Amino acid sequence: MEPVILSCAELSTREINAALAALPDGASARVLEPRGRHNLAVGLSNRVRIDIEGNAGYFIGGLGDGPDVVVHGFTGWSVGENLQAGSVRVEGNASECAGASSRGGTIVIEGDASSRAGISLKGGTILVGGNVGHMSGFMAQAGVMLIGGDAGDALGDSLYEAVIYVAGTIASLGSDARIEELTESDVRAVKALAELGGASFGHVQPENVTRVASARGLYNFDALKDQKY
Amino acid sequence: MCGIVGLHLKNPDLQPRLGELLTQMLEAMTTRGPDSAGIAVYADRDPAPAGHEADPGPDQPAPPDQPGQELRYSLRSDETIDWDLLAKRIAAETGRDLRVEPLGSDSAVFVSSAAETSFLAAVRRAAPQVTVPGFGRSMVVVKDVGAPAAICARYGIPGWGGYQGIGHTRMATESAVTTAHSHPFAPAADLALVHNGSFSNYATVRGRLARQGIRCDTDNDSEVAARLVAARMAEGADLADGLRTVLKEMDGFFTLLVTTRTQFAVIRDSFACKPAVIAETPDYVAMASEYHALAGLPGITGARVFEPMPEEIHVWSR
Amino acid sequence: MDQPQPMNLPMDAHRRSGAFPPEVIAQIQRTATEGHYEIRGWGAKRDLPTFDDLLFLTASLTRYPLEGYREKCDTSTVLGTRYASKPLQLAIPVTIAGMSFGALSATAKVALGRAASAVGTSTTTGDGGMIAEERAASRLLVYQCLPSRYGFNVDDLRQADAIEIVIGQGAKPGGGGLLLGQKVTDRVAGMRTLPAGVDQRSASRHPDWVGPDDLRIKIEELREATRWEKPVYVKFGATRVVNDVKLAVEAGADVVVVDGMQGGTAATQDFFIEHTGIPTLAAVRLAAEALRDIGMEDTVQLIASGGIRTGADVAKALALGADAVSVGVAPLIALGCNSPTYWQDGSDHDASDGYQALGTEAGYCHHCHTGRCPVGVTTQDAGLEARLDADRGARQVTNYLKAMAMETAALARACGKSDVHNLEPNDLVALIVEAAAMAQVPLAGTEWIPGRQDKI
């Protein structure tokens, strides 16, 4: 079946999302001329493939529960926020808060992500081929991140049970984040994640990544301990 | 709630299109600010007439109490005013010839080589209802209420040429929408600042400036930052140092775009919670709160698009 | 004479310090032992200007009342008319405010839901997500979108009748949610994607947007995901009310919810509760003025909350410009909070041991944070939860809400109104100067409104 063509030059965001939501499972669509348009492909639950041909704005693929969205360009803030199922792949860079609060599915940023990548992560998978900015993985509760490049300051601050793998350097760790020994199972997991990520992760050596996890020191308040808030 | 835009041209061939490109960027930012807009445009103006004092240097303004090269004063009045009559009066008071360049029905540009302080004092005396949104050798500032598209049309901005410009769109919270709180704030010659975000300790910094004799015209947080930068530059600091002072002394969340006659600078605070996108090509550097404001610029598909890092000062110079 | 005689204390033996009364002494002693301020539930407990400081100017020779039992006074209320295709149609101008499953027991959520359905109003989820029981019990359910996003998912979003984006709440504007480990059971933890038993601390800012200019884009996202059917509310704690209301409206809100400092919580630090935000009395009036200032009073609805207790409070909030109120602590009291007894197995039981164990008594308890609620309302302990009967609780809350609506209508009728929404500031006077200034109504017996030069 030929992909449905939708052009941002002719259609409003509302019209585009309505058309995407109406597609049957197995269908595909190409969204042309996004030119930084926000809220494309949000809140969709059909099993479709959506190619966004250009640079897009905020919340692309947000609240997604099914589609595979590919952005052939870069995105603005909060790409794939609250993703539940399906995937969002960005061939360029992603702006702040990539994958914020995502619960499931996979978000792949082939370039760099900016600050607060993976903030409030709730079970999703976030793969960044390049670098991430400061406060990435902030309050990440569950799920996994693989960072192919370097991480900025305060990585994994207030981390819960999410795990962050970093192939490059880490500028600094956040409160309650610590580096842990890589196990065999970590190496296998990173290998699988890098494969899922694709060519931009070809440089990742699974045996040489750093595993960042929670020290669990802030799980319970104890004002009489010297807890770092 | 607002949007900011800026364009600094490297390629002189684009200069005739500056106004057209800025208008397009400003209109895109109407979503972030529909109620009023302001714009500062820099152009190489006519050279100073023979016999005037030598140019004191690229970024150093003339001492404000000395007459010198010609400065352009962008003036604005909310009531109808006879600009020619006012011009004659100011010329008489300052003892210097004055040229009037029309700008709009409620705005005008007065060009004079009088000392900055005496010119501004003369305007205040002669016409207290007139505000001076900005002044400088190269800079003209327009601020008005209404939709950004309407404002640009009213002043013919798409037809303006120049080498750089910054703009701001605003959503008003006060009921009487006036230009009083509009950006850019331009408290010194050829200096303009636009801001997206919220300073949390501006009242304290405003008080400190007041004790140094520097008064704000409004209770707006952005004006405080502009005056802080101007104060540092008046002491001899360059723009980057002025912005470092803002980073050090002012608290809150902010993206700032600040220009002088020769420089174009962007900074973000350490949290970097307010957006900022920069696009650079061999022909220009453009900045906006959201990428879609840049999407129509020539050669944008080949541009290097990036976000400024927290606390990094990005400066481009002529 | 083996026993020592009691000494006669002098008449000023109990001279109370204004700066260091017993409550403050206890706070300092507790902080010295535990290393932190008291964490507790409920809202601000200190005396503040409230709706009690306003009075209605009811019927007189020049203003005629409606007959109390015969002439209709309409209480129906519609929320979310601005953009949503399916606004909420309520029978009364009172809704149940957001309170989480986690803070509250599931039985409490069900009881509230059943009562709301019985009287024709809505309940609201809280900082933990939607439970199926509440969706089933509550005919109209408002789904909160909070900074933490605990439990927030697309399926529940689609099942909701409205969406409430929470910037903050009156008890702690600027502070995130809190649920102590003893209440983070397996079920609660599972919903919130947390390990069981952690002291849950929520973020204070949303993860994916900051500021009203970016809120506009977020509201569009939520509308797009729900086909523009559901009203979007924006809720904040009362601080810079005028600016917040105007910016929320500009960002696209259908309804603004303003929660004054008296607003309750199930757990937060006492210093937040008592020292942040402004009284509801001032907040309502400021919010209504802000809407009028931008010409939106007929387009965007205003819900006021924060210590609303009775029909008199409701009527006064409506008179000051609210379209509806939201109640939190009050219906919990109707459910059994602070009751000396609980009902189980067909009879009343004495709950005093439970209060005693918390170091308090019925009438003074604010220990929701402990999870040891002696009457089963704010607990996750199965044994304690069993002390709350859902049907009986639902009946009690139904009685309370119905009475509240009747009181509101009675006052409105007495002011000559056939619709409670026709109550206006003109119907009110103030008893004290602070209330006159905050509500901007005249001090009773005078024409004086502090701060206004012109005559009313």
Residue B56 pLDDT level (bands cut at 50, 70, 90) = very low
Task: Name the residue among A14, A65, A142 with its Cβ closest to that of C224.
Answer: A14
Cα C146 to Cα B234: distance, rounded to the nearest angstrom: 46
Q: Could you read off the pLDDT of C6-47 as tens digits, one per residue?
A: 678 999 999 999 999 999 999 999 999 988 888 999 999 999
Record: contact A43-C181, CB cut-off 8 A = no
B2 labelled catalytic: yes
Give me the count of residues in chain B.
318
Residue B53 pLDDT level (bands cut at 50, 70, 90) = very low
Residue B247, pLDDT > 90, answer yes
Cα C372 to Cα C380: distance, rounded to the nearest angstrom: 8
Question: What per-residue confidence (pLDDT) applies to C6?
Answer: 67
Question: What per-residue confidence (pLDDT) applies to C172?
Answer: 93
Record: contact C294-B275, CB cut-off 8 A = no
Residue B52 pLDDT level (bands cut at 50, 70, 90) = very low
Residue B46 pLDDT level (bands cut at 50, 70, 90) = low
3-state secondary structure of C375: coil
Cα A164 to Cα A158: distance, rounded to the nearest angstrom: 13
Question: What per-residue confidence (pLDDT) applies to B55?
Answer: 46
Helix then strand count (H, E) for chain A reads 2, 11
Question: What per-residue confidence (pLDDT) applies to A102?
Answer: 98
- In the structure encoding, which two tokens stand for residue A86, read together? 């399906």
Q: What is the mean pLDDT of chain B?
A: 91
| Partner chains of B (3+ C-beta pairs under 8 Å) | A, C
Record: contact A43-C226, CB cut-off 8 A = yes
- Residues on chain C touching A223 (C-beta within 8 angstroms): 34-36
Cα B229 to Cα C122: distance, rounded to the nearest angstrom: 52
Phi, psi of C158 (to 5 degrees): -70, -25
**Residue in B196, B271, B287, B291 to test binding to A, most A beta-carbons within 10 Å:** B291
Q: What would the mean pLDDT of B248-255 be, rounded to a whole number?
A: 93
Q: How far is CA B177 from CA B150, B182, B283, C11, C303, in A?
A: 15, 9, 37, 63, 27
As to burial, measured by CB atoms within 10 angstroms (0-12 exposed, 13-18 middle, 19+ buried), residue C294 is middle
Q: Looking at the complex, report in whole angstroms how far the Cα of residue A100 sits from the nearest Cα belonging to chain C.
A: 6
- Which of B255, B243, B253 minimizes the C-alpha distance to B196? B255
- In the structure encoding, which two tokens stand for residue C143, read together? 């789904």
Q: How far is CA C64 from CA A80, B79, C74, C416, C430, in A?
A: 60, 49, 17, 5, 22
Q: What would the mean pLDDT of A106-114 be, rounded to a whole number?
A: 97
Q: How many CB atoms lie within 10 A of CB B282?
A: 9
Question: What per-residue confidence (pLDDT) applies to B49?
Answer: 47
Tell if the pTM clears 0.90, that is, is over it: yes
Q: Looking at the complex, report in whole angstroms how far the Cα of residue C207 sits from the nearest Cα belonging to chain B.
A: 10
Q: How many CB atoms lie within 10 A of CB A221?
A: 19
Residue B107, pLDDT > 80, answer yes
- In the structure encoding, which two tokens stand for residue C329, read together? 């602590």
Task: Report cis status (omega within 30 of 0) of the bond before B184.
Answer: yes
H or E element, residue B197: strand B192-199
| B106 Rama sector, left if φ>0, alpha if ψ -120 to 50, beta otherwise | alpha
Residue B30, pLDDT > 60, answer yes
Q: Could you read off the pLDDT of B139-148 as tens digits, one per residue?
A: 999 999 999 9
Q: How far is CA C79 from CA B316, C87, C116, C226, C400, in A?
A: 51, 6, 15, 17, 22
ipTM value: 0.96
> Distance between terminal CA atoms of chain A?
55
- Chain C residues with CB under 8 Å of a chain B CB are 205, 210-214, 216, 242-243, 246-247, 250-251, 293-294
Residue A225 pLDDT level (bands cut at 50, 70, 90) = confident
Question: What per-residue confidence (pLDDT) applies to B178?
Answer: 75
Question: What per-residue confidence (pLDDT) applies to B41?
Answer: 98
Record: contact A134-B305, CB cut-off 8 A = no
Q: What would the mean pLDDT of B166-173 be, rounded to a whole number?
A: 89
Q: What is the mean pLDDT of chain A?
A: 96
Question: What per-residue confidence (pLDDT) applies to B61?
Answer: 54
Cα C188 to Cα C179: distance, rounded to the nearest angstrom: 10
Record: contact C209-A78, CB cut-off 8 A = yes
**Residue in C213, C256, C293 to test binding to B, most B beta-carbons within 10 Å:** C213
Q: Could you read off the pLDDT of A187-217 as tens digits, one per residue?
A: 999 999 999 999 999 999 999 999 999 999 9
Place of tokens 């793969």: A127
- Residues on chain A touching B290 (C-beta within 8 angstroms): 36, 38, 57-58, 76
A/C interface, count of CB pairs below 8 Å: 113
Instruction: Write out residues 191-230 of C within 8 Å (CB-CB) of A.
Output: 192-195, 197-199, 201, 203, 207-209, 214, 217-218, 220-222, 224-228
**C94 CB-near residues (< 8 Å, 6+ apart):** C121, C308, C314, C324, C325, C326, C327, C401, C404, C405, C408
> Pairing state of beta strands B304-306 and B277-280?
antiparallel
3-state secondary structure of C251: helix
- Chain B residues with CB under 8 Å of a chain A CB are 272-273, 275, 277, 290-296, 305-307, 309-310
Q: C140 near C125, Cβ under 8 Å?
A: no
Place of tokens 């019209």: A15
Residue B219, pLDDT > 80, answer yes
Burial B117-141, CB ≥16 within 10 A → b, else e: ebbeebbeeebeebbbbbbbbbbbb
Question: What per-residue confidence (pLDDT) applies to C1?
Answer: 53
Cα C438 to Cα C440: distance, rounded to the nearest angstrom: 6
What does the pLDDT profile of chain C (456 residues) look like in tens digits? 566 666 789 999 999 999 999 999 999 999 999 888 889 999 999 999 999 999 999 998 888 889 887 789 999 999 999 999 999 999 999 999 999 999 999 999 999 999 999 999 999 999 999 999 999 999 999 999 999 999 999 999 999 999 999 999 999 998 888 888 999 999 999 999 999 999 998 899 999 999 899 999 999 999 999 999 999 999 999 999 999 999 999 999 999 999 999 999 999 999 999 999 999 999 999 999 999 999 999 999 999 999 999 999 999 999 999 999 999 999 999 999 999 999 999 999 999 999 999 999 999 999 999 999 999 999 999 999 999 999 999 999 999 999 999 999 999 999 999 999 999 999 999 999 999 999 999 999 999 999 987 754
B/C interface, count of CB pairs below 8 Å: 36
Record: contact B272-A133, CB cut-off 8 A = yes
Question: What per-residue confidence (pLDDT) applies to B180?
Answer: 75
3-state secondary structure of A211: strand
| Closest-CA residue of chain B to C220 | B31
Q: How far is CA C144 from CA B156, C162, C241, in A?
A: 47, 9, 20
Q: Looking at the complex, report in whole angstroms how far the Cα of residue B297 sits from the nearest Cα belonging to chain A.
A: 11
